[in-house]
Chains A and B, each alone.
Chain A
Amino acid sequence: MKSFKTHKSPDDTIRDMLLFLLENKKVSSIFALSKVHNNNYAYTLITDKELLKNITPTFPLMPANAGKMISRLTMIEAVKSPVAVVLRPCELRALFELVKLEQAKLDNLLFISFTCGGVFPIKTKKDSVENALKNYWTNAKTGEDLQELRECCRICENFVPDNADIILQLAGKDIDNGTSVLMKTEKGAGFLNGMSEQFSEESLESTALDTIGEIRKEKKQKIFADLKTEDFGIEGLVNIFGRCINCHACSKVCPVCYCKLCYFESADNDAGPSIFEIELKKRSALRIPADTVLYHLGRMTHIGFTCVGCGMCSDVCPTNIPIATIFTKVSERVQKAFEYIPGKDLEEKVPVSVFEMKELEDVED
């Protein structure tokens, strides 16, 4: 792959690239995480190059899944002039799923991403994240587990952004020694053509990445085993989802749960008082609001194929249910059953959206 190396930090390297793209009118705007006022971080759509000084694309926080945000931007129509989008691997994968689900369009988007060390839970105080950065990057280099990160990030094996046009090697690299930038696609190389960097050929450092993958896989196996979902049964489900308050926050921040009006919030799901009366007669006690377990199982069947394991859902749950960990575990098995990797290949349809005569015969019998 065509590549270049800088002696700057990842954020400064990205800033230089974006400045080059904006100044040379190769893109009309930038979509990236920025430090905004009040010491906070948010995704931003930037057209003024002066504001590039505020971007912090590699700052380990995910206030929203960027895939969902790009879906907002491109839901009706593709952007008309090129936009450079800096996002994390799971966000890019979520966006690809949303394109398949006709919720977003990729035309004119240039994707810049990086091998990802994970993010802190959104609730982490901003200055604590800032203070933990040194430690964060040390662990990102070796892949050593960092307990403070989102559980989903600690067990994520898909931290290489295969579909990005431009990839920065961060996880698996010592970023103190400069930043290396790889042009994964010709499109990426085309956009950066003309930059005054020393271009050479380089490929991803697979040994370091494999090591990180191994560490995370091991951690995943342990965390998944500890969940004991296999032994759940209805009792286990009631135990884990029984404290759910039906706020549906998990679905609202989920990038792939894209329905504007969820069935569980629709009039179809409103039981009249007579239904309650009949059920009460049968059971002597009814939980109200009902169906917390059904809601999660319903959501699971809808998004199990497309769940990218970003972890937004766990971060916002007011009752601390480890939703993301449960969903990634179940989704992994669903995705394996259909040999489907969400966000990998645009041409590959979401399994529920296709019909095959011969399918899942093993389950049939």
Chain B
Amino acid sequence: MKGSTIPLKDNLNNTIKKILKTLLEKECFDAILVPSRVPSGESFTYLLINNKDFLESCTPLPPIMPVQGARALQNFTRRGKTNLKVLCVMRPCEIRASIELSKLRQIELENISFMSIDCPGVLVTRDYIDKPKESDTLYEEVIIQWKGEHLRPTCNACVHFSYKDILSDIHIGVVGQKNHNILLVPLSEKAKAVLGKIDIQCSDDISSWQTKINEISQKKMNQRNTLFSELQGKSAGAENLDKLFSECINCHNCMRVCPICCCRQCFFESSDEVRIESEDYFIKAQNKGGIKFPTDMLLFHLGRMSHMSLSCINCGICEDGCPMDVPVAQVFSFIGDAVQKMFDYVPGKDRNEPIPILTFKEDELREYEDSKG
């Protein structure tokens, strides 16, 4: 693998912005889907842009992730493929979620290309909105130092923050470079052709970047192991789970912001669950002396977990969307990791590998079959 070193122009976002402008100008793509600041300034949204002047407001690596990029792409292509050649500038976990959604037939990837950026993680949305200016300064530091005190907890435990296991086309490396220069790395044949078209020759050595990525990976893996061993103790058994989720008010916002949870109407909001005869509630109440309202709080989380944990890409947006600060993303990434290992499945890694629950294998999970006789 080779790359192309691009000198940093005042800051990372402006440097990438310039490349995006060139890509549109040279008609490498018909449109670019990229995060941009909202008019009031205190948040970001995805914009689909076909005119380079409109790219001025874009922020390719925003400090927060208010909407998961895969959700935006789903919004755009759920009904079928677009005829436009579109470049989506996203974080690695957003690209991984997009791949999972394409397997779930929620995204049509034809004509879609991805540009990914080494991701130091994101700040908590609510914190950013409260103090956008201070947070911007803070995030400048985060991009340079890769320090994580203010980041989403799952970002600190993320081992898919760069190019490995990501189905991106053009990757932008930001660590391990002299003078904070950036590194353009084509990850697909398509990308090589595109970069050739804008006269970017990829002949630079990328080993210093790769070394740095490996170093950070190791650090993140350690943080991940620490987090998971803490969660191991906190989440075992019904009682502990109940405690972890005790603040939950059943608003289902974790599900609604989750890119993988793609059902239009969740079972837990459907007639089957909502239209229950009053007698059934009383029977439940009598059995235990009393029940909480709304009911089935833990069942909702366990149900959601069994539905999406194989594809959970640990983006952490569920925790950001939770009005009660339930550590939902941490628990889900811990469980998801275990489930994914069990099926030897890495979500978002391979476009052609089906999600394990969508396939049937005669010889599977035998060890569980016999474990309890």
Contacts and interface: CB of A to CB of B under 8 A. Distances in A.
A77 interface: yes
Interface stretch (B183-191, B279-287, B349-357): B279-287
Interface string A313-348: 001111110000000000000000000000000000
A43 B292 CA distance: 6
A69 interface: yes
Given A43-B293, A46-B285, A318-B253, 19 more contacts: A31-B293, A37-B242, A40-B246, A43-B292, A44-B291, A47-B282, A51-B290, A64-B293, A75-B274, A245-B125, A252-B251, A252-B253, A273-B79, A273-B80, A276-B76, A280-B50, A284-B51, A284-B54, A320-B129
Contacts of B82: 273, 276-277
The 6 closest A-B pairs by CB, nearest first: A48-B289, A243-B43, A272-B79, A38-B246, A284-B51, A46-B290
Interface of A: 28-29, 31, 34, 36-38, 40, 42-48, 50-51, 63-64, 69, 72-80, 122-123, 235, 238-240, 242-243, 245-249, 252-253, 260-261, 265-267, 270-274, 276-277, 280-281, 284-290, 315-320
B66 interface: yes
A131 B79 CA distance: 53
A45 B270 CA distance: 22
Contacts, number: 213
A261 B75 CA distance: 17
14 contacts: A37-B242, A38-B246, A46-B289, A78-B278, A238-B40, A239-B39, A245-B67, A252-B256, A273-B81, A277-B82, A287-B47, A288-B46, A316-B253, A319-B125
A76 B323 contact: no
Contact of B129 (A77, A276, A287, A319): A319
Nearest to B52: A284
A194 B53 CA distance: 79
Contact of B274 (A260, A284, A316): A260
B325 interface: yes
B273 to A, nearest CB: 10
B179 interface: no
B83 interface: yes
Interface string B119-159: 00000011001100000000000000000000000000000
A287 B251 contact: no
A30 to B, nearest CB: 8
Nearest to A273: B82
A67 B62 CA distance: 40
B358 interface: no
B290 A320 contact: no
A247 B257 contact: yes
Interface in B19-73: 31, 33, 38-40, 42-43, 45-51, 53-54, 66-67, 71-72
Interface of B: 31, 33, 38-40, 42-43, 45-51, 53-54, 66-67, 71-72, 75-84, 108, 125-126, 129-130, 242-243, 246-247, 249-253, 256-257, 264-265, 269-271, 274-279, 281-282, 285-286, 289-294, 320-325
Contacts of A274: 83
B47 A286 contact: yes
B256 A64 contact: no
B49 A285 contact: yes
A242 B39 contact: yes
A224 B278 CA distance: 40
A172 to B, nearest CB: 29
B274 to A, nearest CB: 6
A238 B325 CA distance: 28
Nearest to A292: B45
Given A47-B285, A243-B43, A249-B321, A319 B66 contact: yes
B256 A247 contact: yes
A123 B324 contact: yes
Nearest to A258: B274
A38 to B, nearest CB: 4
Contact of A260 (B47, B71, B81, B265): B265
B246 A37 contact: yes
B342 to A, nearest CB: 30
Contacts of A245: 43, 66-67, 125, 257, 321
Nearest to A249: B253
Nearest to B279: A80
A41 to B, nearest CB: 10
A253 B168 CA distance: 38
Contacts of B83: 273-274, 277
Contact of A38 (B125, B242, B277, B293): B242
A42 B292 contact: yes
A104 B324 CA distance: 28
Nearest to A271: B79
Given A38-B243, A242-B39, A319-B43, A64 B249 contact: yes
A260 B252 CA distance: 13
Contact of A47 (B67, B81, B257, B286): B286
A253 B66 CA distance: 20
B126 A320 contact: yes
B323 A29 contact: no
Contact of A242 (B38, B81, B270, B286): B38
B267 to A, nearest CB: 12
Contacts of B67: 245-246, 289
Contacts of A318: 66, 125-126, 253, 257, 320-323
A320 B130 contact: yes
Contact of B48 (A36, A51, A285): A285
B289 A238 contact: no
Nearest to A79: B278
Given A242-B40, A277-B84, A45 B51 contact: no
